[in-house]
Amino acid sequence: MTTTLASPTQSYIAREDAWGAHNYRPLDLVVAEAHGAWVTDVEGRCYLDCLSAYSAVNQGHGHPRLLRALTEQAARVTLTSRAFRNDQLGAFCKDLAQRCGMDMVLPMNTGAEAVETAIKAARRWGYRTKGIPHDQATIIAFTNNFHGRTTTLVGFSSEPTYRADFGPFAPGFVLVPFGDLDAVQAAITPHTCAVLVEPIQCEAGVIIPPDGFLRELAALCRAHDVLLIADEIQTGLGRTGRMFACDHDDVVPDMYVLGKALSGGFYPVSAVVSRREVLGVFEPGSHGSTYGGNPLGCAVAREALAVIDDERLVERSAALGAWLLRQLETLRHPAIKAVRGRGLMCAIELHEAARPYCEALQAHGVLCKETHGTVIRLSPPLVASEEDLAWAVEQLRGVFAA
């Protein structure tokens, strides 16, 4: 009797499946190293990363400047909690606030924490500034939204899978169709404190709203004394070819919610950035986080922002993204329903399940992931070269050969 030895990949997968909760369905490769736009698995195979950890590694994997900032700060001090001050927090808040044209920053860790923070700020502003009766504030959000995985956030999701058996959910949210300004207008009441929007719905399949929608939405919010909260966790910091996706409509929201690329994939850092009138509603004891604003995260985030500027990653995203979208539009295959994108955030929508195509692309050395069943997202790091993307397009042509 012969025994078939498991490959290194199979061994790692078996251990993870045996001991880890099954809340993800990843592609069956095991990454061991990553540099720039490329990753290497435990068996030495190389792949072009076209997901970028959902835009967390816009600056590329293992950027040397971020690694240096991390290690130098880690050798000094990593965590003080907010019980004491540290020498990195003020500089980080100033850098980010000025970049956003705002007054104040409230740092957190994950994107979901930042969205929750924005919700708390909007409600308190609604009660203390707008005069909404206590516990009656409402927030308008959009169908097919994705703002995170807390019970509050999935409670106003329109995706049944995100909500199933996690209730009861928090009240106070009203859903309207994405891109429908008339529906927003109809949903606004004197109790509305905010509208929460993704400038592009990433998880929903890179859904881009009609031209001018964000600009008209901002005007509508101003007319009704309603805060506009832009969730730019995935779209911000250069991903769409502008620093913020709102910039495509020349919109400055009342609150930016940022994360992911804010730390270049090295350390969880998120933030809410707003005017003093809004974030000034918090006083000591009303909100906090042990790790939020820690010196290690702040040092890394400051360098992550500097890398975006110094390497002109916003401009790279705009130019390379336009080229990539043109190439995707030339693909001809009966399974392809539509292609769309903005900057280096592109999508191929199919008439059928996208998973087999993602697995086929993996076999060709291109890593991407399906979303909403029938959409392939393509979002390589902003440091990817023209040659990298040209090679990826050739692999796509091979997989989608008619």
What beta strand segments (E) does 84-212 contain? Answer: 104-108, 138-142, 173-176, 192-197
Assess whether 249 carries a catalytic annotation: no
User: What are the backbone angles phi and psi of residue 35, rounded to the nearest 5°?
Assistant: -145, 130
CA distance 193 to 183: 16
Rounded-to-integer distance, Cα 331 and Cα 348, Å:
10
| Dist. CA 199–CA 207, nearest whole Å | 9
| Per annotation, catalytic residue among 92, 130, 156, 260 | 260
Rg, Å, the chain Cα set: 22
Calpha distance 50→68 (Å, rounded): 25
Of 231, 244, 369, 388, which residue is the catalytic one?
A: 231
How many beta carbons lie within 10 A of that of residue 353, not counting itself?
Answer: 12
Is 266 labeled as catalytic in the residue annotation?
Answer: no
What tokens appear for 28 in the block?
Answer: 């069956």
Give dist(CA 76, CA 389) in Å, integer.
39
- Kindly give, in sequence order, each residue whose CB lies less than 8 Å from that of residue 18, ignoring residues fewer than 6 positions away: none
Residue 201 DSSP one-character state: B
- Beta-strand runs (E) in 188-234: 192-197, 227-231
For residue 94, give the amino acid letter: K
173 is a catalytic site residue: no
60: alpha, beta or left? (left if phi > 0; alpha if psi -120 to 50): left
CA distance 382 to 239: 7
The answer to whether the beta carbons of residues 229 and 196 sit under 8 Å apart is yes
Choose, from 41, 92, 130, 146, the residue flagged as catalytic: 146
Query: Which residues are annotated as catalytic?
Result: 146, 231, 260
